[in-house]
């Protein structure tokens, strides 16, 4: 394991938890949508459910996958495999290039989750939240997390990234993911500046829209350049008019923890993908 990973490993969880509490406070002081006005009980239930999924998934990743990723990165470096190990390059160029490659993969992985019906069955758990806020950043089906964690192994092999570079990338990715899911009052000017480089709250609001032509846009989670480069960048003139969620996941029994776990197995609601949706 490399020094960058060791330096970061003690900080990742404190950063994520601090961001969560700061953004929860911001959402309380200046919410963008009034989902939970005078309904603290609903807010607690909603947030508790989402955070439970995040903790559960995080534990599975920590127990099962971090060790596998460490073995893969150590083996790749020891044998000189991977694009970044083809030549001797300075440390910071290595870090930057690994960062770009990992984010490029994250963009396409997310896009495949929308375009391949089997993957959409799992990813729709994330999109089924009708009240997107900072806790939605934790709301993923375990199946999606397992698939992405397994596929990360060949990505690490191909890129030649280190475990420290992956940890740095994941830390920044999750911090930005928390920000762009948060239900915070964020000025349009600040959003415009942020989205020059990063996925902004207004970009990601469009991605969580019920209109699937909008859902199938803005796939990037960190660097906004990928959506511009691959033609999936989209904005709504007034994001206040966006309605979050999916039309086929609004039943109360679907919005419980067992309902979210079972959502990929639902037979009555065929996955709606760009191929069969007309907006
Ligand atoms: Zn998505």
Ligand 1 geometric centre to CA of 113 (Å): 7
Residue 103 placed within a domain: yes
Whether residue 221 is contained in a domain is answered as: no
- In this structure, is residue 73 part of a structural domain? yes
23 C-alpha to center of ligand 1: Å? 21
**What distance in angstroms lies between residue 67's CA and the mean position of ligand 1's atoms?**
27
277 assigned to some structural domain = no
Q: What is the pLDDT of residue 273?
A: 52
The arithmetic mean of pLDDT across residues 265-269, rounded, is 73
Q: Is residue 211 part of a domain?
A: no
User: How remote is the CA of residue 139 from the centroid of ligand 1, in Å?
Assistant: 11
- For every residue of the chain, DSSP letters joined together read --HHHHHHHTTHHHHHHHHHHHHHHHHHHSBSS-TTTT-HHHHHHHHHHHHHHHHHHHHHIIIIIHHHHHHHHHHHHHHT-SGGGSS---HHHHHHHHHHHHHHHHHHHHHHHHHSHHHHHHHHHHHT-SS--GGGGG---HHHHHHHHHHHHHHHHHHT--HHHHHHHHHHHHHHHHHHHS-B---HHHHHHHTTTB--HHHHHHHTBSSHHHHTS---SSBTHHHHHTT-----S-GGG--BS-GGG-SGGGGSHHHHHHGGG-SSSPPP-TTT---
Please tell me the distance between residue 17's alpha carbon and the centre of ligand 1 in angstroms. 23
215: in domain = no
Which structural domain range is residue 173 located in? 3-186
Q: What is the pLDDT of residues 23-67, one digit of tens each?
A: 999 999 999 999 888 788 899 999 999 999 999 999 999 999 999
What's the confidence (pLDDT) of residue 37? 82
Does the residue 241 lie in any domain?
no
CA 2 to ligand 1 center in whole angstroms: 32
Number of domains in the chain: 1
- Cα of 264 vs centre of ligand 1, distance in Å, is 15
- Model confidence pLDDT, tens digit, residues 114-138: 999 999 999 999 999 999 999 999 9
């Amino acid at each position: 394991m490399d020094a960058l990973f060791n330096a970061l490993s003690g900080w990742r969880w404190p950063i994520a938890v601090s961001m969560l509490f700061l953004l929860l406070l911001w959402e309380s002081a200046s919410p963008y949508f009034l989902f939970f006005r005078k309904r603290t009980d609903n807010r607690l239930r909603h947030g508790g459910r989402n955070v439970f999924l995040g903790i559960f998934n995080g534990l599975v990743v920590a127990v099962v996958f971090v060790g596998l990723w460490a073995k893969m990165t150590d083996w790749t470096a020891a044998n000189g495999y991977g694009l970044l190990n083809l030549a001797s390059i300075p440390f910071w160029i290595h870090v930057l290039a690994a960062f770009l490659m990992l984010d490029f993969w994250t963009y396409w992985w997310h896009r495949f989750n929308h375009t391949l019906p089997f993957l959409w069955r799992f990813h729709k758990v994330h999109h089924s939240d009708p009240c997107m806020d900072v806790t939605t950043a934790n709301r993923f089906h375990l199946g999606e997390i397992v698939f992405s964690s397994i596929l990360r192994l060949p990505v690490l092999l191909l890129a030649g990234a280190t475990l420290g570079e992956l940890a740095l990338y994941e830390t920044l990715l999750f911090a930005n993911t928390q920000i762009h899911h948060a239900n915070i009052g964020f000025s349009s000017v600040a959003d415009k500046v942020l989205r020059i480089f990063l996925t902004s709250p207004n970009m990601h609001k469009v991605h969580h829209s019920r209109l699937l032509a909008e859902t199938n846009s803005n796939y990037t989670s960190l660097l906004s350049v990928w959506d511009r480069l691959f033609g999936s960048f989209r904005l709504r003139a007034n994001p206040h008019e966006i309605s979050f969620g999916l039309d086929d996941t609004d039943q109360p029994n679907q919005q419980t923890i067992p309902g979210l776990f079972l959502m990929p197995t639902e037979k009555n609601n065929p996955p709606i993908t760009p191929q069969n949706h007309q907006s």
